[in-house]
């Protein structure tokens, strides 16, 4: 039986002025229905891996910044807001063959937020059995999009994985394994598998194989007491997918392969469901899902069409996977207007009740 035994997954980001505000909102609105709550990925983490570009790669002694987000009103921007805008690009300096990162920033943020999480638990604002969730980009997601050739990617890839392993170790110095959920965010792994052979440049070998190797290597650093999950995504910049998923075949393939390849248990897999997909074709691949005791969470909650729309997608999914899946949004909702979040959490709550 999966340890993700509650019906709602909060994918990650939540708008808030700080971590305490984001966690307090989720704890009050939906804490009893979720196995874990994140710190909302507030501040500059709300723009996902652009946080790495602006804070880790930009200004690194071994790298040159060759492109950055366009200016707005004469001021430099640290992130792009659409797929059409120019984003960050870097190159490893000529002659550099070894790169290292002292940290990536995730452990420091997690440790700081966890202290607030504990205070909220003590105050009764977050249920005692809820865990603290940290969402981390896997290797391809954290690196490839910011570089322009295979040679640089290979240098940075190893350094990123080494630093991410140390980030996990550092978190566990402060956060008890029994109180932690780690989620691998896999948007660019998904997208580059779809785009295999269609990008201006690509690393040697198979994106799918690199995904499995990175997932296996980094997951092996995580103690079994930690709940581990995978979030598959097709992009969410500006609430739009970079590519529209034709169906759930690829996420199912990736989940099945991960279940076989990773030596420690994976507790859950999250898969996206676009708002307009209530057709059999989209959900039919779920009939081939083989993830053992892991739990499936379907990202079928959408603010725009609410409970009625979610239940239409539930009806379609039930034809192919009636085995007790949980519910979520397609991606995190840190870039949504803050005043929409109580209503969005209410949709989660009502749909969860209907499925119980």
Q: What is the DSSP string of 28-61?
A: HHHGGGBSEEE-TT-GGGGGTTHHHIIIIITT-T
pLDDT at res. 49: 86
pLDDT at res. 341: 92
Whole-model pTM? Answer: 0.94
Q: What dihedral angle (degrees, nearest 10) is formed by the CA atoms of 235, 106, 148, 252?
A: -40
pLDDT at res. 15: 86
**Residue in the structure block whose two tokens are 């990773």:** 262
Tokens encoding 109:
């943020």
Digit-by-digit pLDDT tens for the chain (356 residues) are 789 999 999 998 888 889 999 999 999 989 899 999 998 888 777 777 888 998 999 999 999 999 988 766 656 665 666 555 678 899 999 999 999 999 999 999 999 999 999 999 999 999 999 999 999 999 999 999 999 999 999 999 999 999 999 999 999 999 999 999 999 999 999 999 999 999 999 999 999 999 999 999 999 999 999 999 999 998 765 666 677 889 999 999 999 999 999 999 999 999 999 999 999 999 999 999 999 999 999 999 999 999 999 999 999 999 999 978 999 999 888 678 888 999 999 999 999 999 98
Other beta carbons within 10 Å of 73: 5
Per-domain boundaries in the chain: 19-62+100-355
Residue 162's SS3 state is helix
CATH for 19-62+100-355 (3.20.20.210, 3.20.20.70, 3.50.50.60, 3.90.226.10): 3.20.20.210
């Amino acid at each position: 039986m999966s340890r993700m035994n509650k019906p709602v997954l909060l994918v990650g980001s939540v708008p808030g002025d700080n971590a305490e505000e984001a966690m307090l909102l989720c704890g009050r609105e939906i804490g009893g229905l979720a196995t874990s709550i994140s710190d909302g990925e507030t501040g500059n983490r709300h723009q996902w891996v652009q946080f790495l570009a602006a804070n880790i790669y930009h200004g690194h002694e071994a790298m040159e910044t060759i492109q950055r987000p366009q200016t707005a009103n004469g001021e430099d921007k640290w992130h792009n807001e659409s797929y059409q805008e120019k984003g960050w690009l870097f190159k490893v300096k000529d002659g550099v063959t070894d790169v290292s990162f002292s940290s990536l920033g995730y452990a420091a943020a997690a440790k700081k937020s966890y202290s607030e999480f504990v205070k909220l638990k003590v105050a009764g604002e977050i249920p005692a059995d809820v865990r603290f969730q940290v969402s981390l980009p896997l290797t391809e997601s954290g690196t490839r999009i910011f570089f322009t050739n295979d040679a640089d990617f290979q240098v940075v890839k190893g350094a990123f994985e080494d630093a991410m392993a140390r980030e996990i170790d550092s978190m566990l110095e402060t956060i008890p394994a029994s109180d932690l959920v780690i989620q691998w965010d896999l948007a660019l792994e998904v997208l580059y598998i779809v785009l295999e052979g269609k990008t201006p440049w690509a690393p040697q070998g198979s994106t799918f194989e690199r995904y499995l190797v990175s997932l296996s290597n980094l997951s092996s650093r995580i103690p079994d007491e930690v709940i581990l999950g995978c979030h598959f995504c097709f992009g969410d910049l500006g609430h739009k997918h970079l590519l529209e998923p034709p169906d759930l075949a690829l996420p199912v393939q990736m989940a099945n392969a991960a279940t076989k390849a990773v030596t420690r248990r994976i507790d859950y897999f999250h898969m996206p469901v676009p708002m307009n997909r209530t057709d059999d074709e989209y959900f039919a691949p779920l009939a081939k899902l083989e993830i053992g005791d892991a739990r499936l969470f379907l990202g079928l909650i959408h603010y725009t069409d609410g409970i009625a729309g979610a239940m239409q997608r539930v009806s379609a999914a039930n034809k192919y996977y009636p085995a007790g899946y949980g519910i979520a949004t397609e991606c995190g909702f840190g870039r949504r207007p803050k005043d929409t979040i109580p209503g969005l959490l209410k949709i989660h709550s009502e749909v969860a009740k209907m499925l119980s």
